[in-house]
Chain A
Amino acid sequence: MEKYTLVITEKPDAAKRIALALDVDGKPTKASSNGVPYYQAYRNGAIVVVPALGHLYTITSMQKGRGYPVFNYQWVPRYQAERKASRIRVWLKVIAQLAKDAGGFVDACDFDIEGSIIGYTILKYACNGKEAEAKRMKYSTLTKEDLQESYSNLQSRLDFTLVEAGLARHEIDWLYGINLSRALTQAAQNYSGKYVTLSTGRVQGPTLKFLDAREKTINCFVPTPYWTITAKICIIDTVLEVEYEKTLENKAQATAIKDACKTKEGQIETLDVKKFLHNPPEPFDLGAVQNEAYRIFKYTPIQTSKILQHLYLDALISYPRTSSQKLPPTIGYRNILKKLGNAPVYAKHTAELLAKTSLKPNEGKKYDPAHPAIYPTGNLPEKPLGIAERNIFDLIVKRFLAVFGEPAMRQSINVVLSINSNRFHFDATRTLTEGWIRFYKPYSQLKDSTLPTLTEGQKVNIEAVFLSDHFSKPPARYNPSSLLSKMEQEEIGTKATRAGIIQTLQDRKYLQGTDRFFVSDLGFEVTEVLLKYCPTIVSPELTRKLEEEMNQIQQGTQTKQTTIQSTIETLALVTSGLKEKEAAVGAELSRSLQKTRVNESTVGLCPKCHEGKLVILRSKKSGKRFVGCTNFFEGKCNTSFPLPQTGTVKPLATACKSCGSPTVAVYLRRRRPWRLCLNSDCPLKGKMVNNAL
């Protein structure tokens, strides 16, 4: 058989797209070995395109048992470290088989840290040390043109500094994660005898610390009163509300001012009108699109990441895990606009932009050497997209159009008026020329106010003056978007890992809530323990310093070994400290774990005694599960409710819509979860109502 070039891709979808693009006839042959798909194509010689399944190799400890500290590790195939990864064994066997007959190797995984490690580890371990001779494909979109161009201009070698930085990141994160998580888990287990996975890490710790600090501020918050005075004025036929020039912290003073404004007429003192230009938005980087998707559609960052990945694999958008706000001309602005114009919904706006003599995007400052900002490739969906994918695609297209728009001309008006010598004011802004705003509708958040014609000295009628009570507000809770921004601002984690870290904090039950985060007792305790026994671990400075070092590795000014060695030295000190205090750490964590378990099984307040709590219990005699009142143990209340004996039961925060009794969610295998009202006399019992969750 003729020697072929083995092209390794990150995912099966990418392999298909690359094979389709590279084959001269656009008709690669799909083959399969033991269920592993690969493609045979031809372009200046035979090509075999084989996909990975994301990471096929991972890090594992060389020490046996679950003890810590662990500083000896190795890269192994994932099936050796993870029980659920048995499929990887066959996958690697097929890749190794294909590598034997290959005459050349090309790493076509995504051009980022993760992609570089996936390609590198496969070439090194599965292809028997071919990492030094392999070439690299670099592309930012999975379009035919980009892929063919990239294959014609292969980079002569892998980007080894990027690989080194990636390996360092994985190894350091693994060292932090395994040592600290084992220390916490073992401390709790040795104290309580119960096993619960507790985890923390290099990024998780500082992130939880931000949340902890905010939660404590909110929980300790005491509001203070203040007053505002509003006057309702009438100018021609328009009624406007104007505010007294400042807020007042004394009720008597506020009432006196309000009383002094009892008059029928006021006068416009000054009118400050300013015109200003509002520049177009900057192109999307990953963080910006995640924030915008949360603002507009309420998609969490991790949901947005998944949608972006689908759109990228469908060659509809460019590579999404970028921190760039630059759109270089090489991406071909006009070609993209022409292709987008084939969709009737974008035709009008693309035609407007194409009519311009030159196109210049309003770029931001952030630059990513690997990829440009996120942009639509110009391809239109071949099959109908789901709602979420359609929304994000539309957002990205409209943002792309908007960045080429001219600045919007806006006008701000600041009016000061006098009512019996007391100054009131109001501000308004309106758009004079829409500019880029018309391309970004309906996503632009700029508001317009309508005002009648105003002049200085103009008399206005006072319809009413009223005093309003207010209280100062606590800081807002973090939501998925604001937490992501905070992590970005503090430079902790990377664009690709931040959303995952937030998810892990929720999975570990350190955080509750989906729209707004609440730190659980367990979250408080884990932060407390880390702050008390190893404060350096939760300091953003440490993780920021490590990020800097990893950037230096990527630039070739620092070596991986030096960074790993200093990490091991830090961790050796931290883990020995934790080991010494294991009993105290275990006691503190166990107390919170116990409280978390009780909270998890609490259904609500007892409807009979109104004192005890209804909790999910198990009968010691029969082993059966039921809901009972905590006052039963004190002989005060014998309220109990039966529960289904199979499946999982979890308390629900919402009461029954019909009778107001507590409800639980019942999860049975292969069935949709459903809501169960505990009240056996509930009017809805037995009726055909939708109780699905």
Chain B
Amino acid sequence: MHCKICCRDSEENSFCQLHSRAFKNVQEKFRVWEAASNASWMEYLAEIQKNSLTGVWAKEVAKYLIEEEQQK
């Protein structure tokens, strides 16, 4: 099985090891954003996706999660 984002083999959450680590970070940091500015999950994802300080893999995860939400 390939990672949902790249061509590497998937490990956890259908992500590869690298995107899985980024995914965990994205999930964890939501709590901080929520407490700081009452941001919703989608607002948060949109914010971190456009933030220049967000890491490349975290941005890819955010983009994937936004697209996934939109397809629901």
Contacts and interface: CB of A to CB of B under 8 A. Distances in A.
Contacts of A223: 29, 48, 51, 53-54
Interface in B13-72: 18, 21-22, 25-26, 28-29, 32-33, 35-37, 48, 51, 53-58
Given A226-B36, A251-B37, A474-B55, A220 B7 contact: no
Interface of A: 216-226, 249-251, 471-474, 524, 591
B35 to A, nearest CB: 7
A278 to B, nearest CB: 34
Contacts of B22: 219-220, 222
Given A216-B18, A591-B7, A222 B36 contact: no
A221 B58 contact: yes
Contact of B36 (A218, A220, A250, A474): A250
A220 B57 contact: yes
Given A225-B33, A250-B36, A219 B57 contact: yes
Contacts, number: 61
> Which one of A217, A219, A220, A222 has the highest number of Cβ atoms from chain B below 10 Å of its Cβ?
A222
A249 B35 contact: yes
Chain B interface helix/strand/loop/mixed: helix
A563 B2 CA distance: 44
Given A223-B48, A249-B32, 9 more contacts: A218-B55, A220-B57, A221-B25, A221-B55, A222-B48, A222-B58, A223-B54, A471-B53, A474-B53
Contacts of A474: 53, 55
A474 B2 CA distance: 28
Contacts of B58: 219-222
Contacts of B53: 221, 223, 471-474
Contacts of A251: 36-37
A225 B29 CA distance: 10
Given A219-B55, A219-B56, A471-B53, A224 B18 contact: no
B7 A224 contact: no
Contacts of B54: 221-223
27 contacts: A216-B18, A216-B21, A219-B18, A219-B55, A219-B57, A219-B58, A220-B21, A220-B22, A220-B57, A221-B54, A222-B29, A222-B48, A222-B54, A223-B29, A223-B51, A223-B53, A224-B36, A249-B36, A250-B35, A250-B36, A251-B36, A251-B37, A471-B51, A471-B53, A472-B53, A473-B53, A474-B55
Contacts of B28: 222
A249 B33 CA distance: 9
B18 A222 contact: no
Nearest to A218: B55
Contact of A224 (B21, B33, B56): B33
Contacts of A226: 36
Contacts of A524: 18
Nearest to A518: B56
A471 B53 CA distance: 8
B47 to A, nearest CB: 9
Contacts of B21: 216, 220
Given A216-B21, A220-B18, A225 B55 contact: no
A220 B55 contact: yes
A225 B36 contact: yes
A371 to B, nearest CB: 44
Contacts of B7: 591
B26 A222 contact: yes
Nearest to B57: A219
A474 B51 CA distance: 12
A226 B35 CA distance: 11
A224 B51 contact: no
B25 A220 contact: yes
Listed from nearest, the 5 A-B pairs whose CB atoms lie closest are: A221-B55, A219-B55, A222-B29, A220-B22, A223-B53
Nearest to A249: B36
B33 to A, nearest CB: 7
Nearest to B19: A220
B43 to A, nearest CB: 12
A3 B3 CA distance: 76
Given A216-B21, A591-B7, A222 B55 contact: yes
Contacts of B48: 222-223
Contacts of A472: 53
A224 B29 contact: yes
B37 to A, nearest CB: 5
Contacts of B26: 222
B7 to A, nearest CB: 7
Contacts of A222: 22, 25-26, 28-29, 48, 54-55, 58
> Which one of A219, A220, A250, A471 has the highest number of Cβ atoms from chain B below 10 Å of its Cβ?
A220
Contacts of A250: 35-37
B27 to A, nearest CB: 9
Contacts of B35: 249-250
Nearest to B28: A222
B28 to A, nearest CB: 8
Contacts of A217: 55
A659 B28 CA distance: 44
Contacts of B57: 219-220
Contacts of A220: 18, 21-22, 25, 55, 57-58
A226 B32 CA distance: 10
A250 B33 CA distance: 9
Nearest to A224: B32
A213 to B, nearest CB: 11
A567 B53 CA distance: 43
Contacts of B32: 224-225, 249
Contacts of A219: 18, 22, 55-58
A591 B33 CA distance: 37
Nearest to B32: A224
Contacts of B29: 222-224
Nearest to B39: A225
B17 to A, nearest CB: 8
Contacts of A591: 7
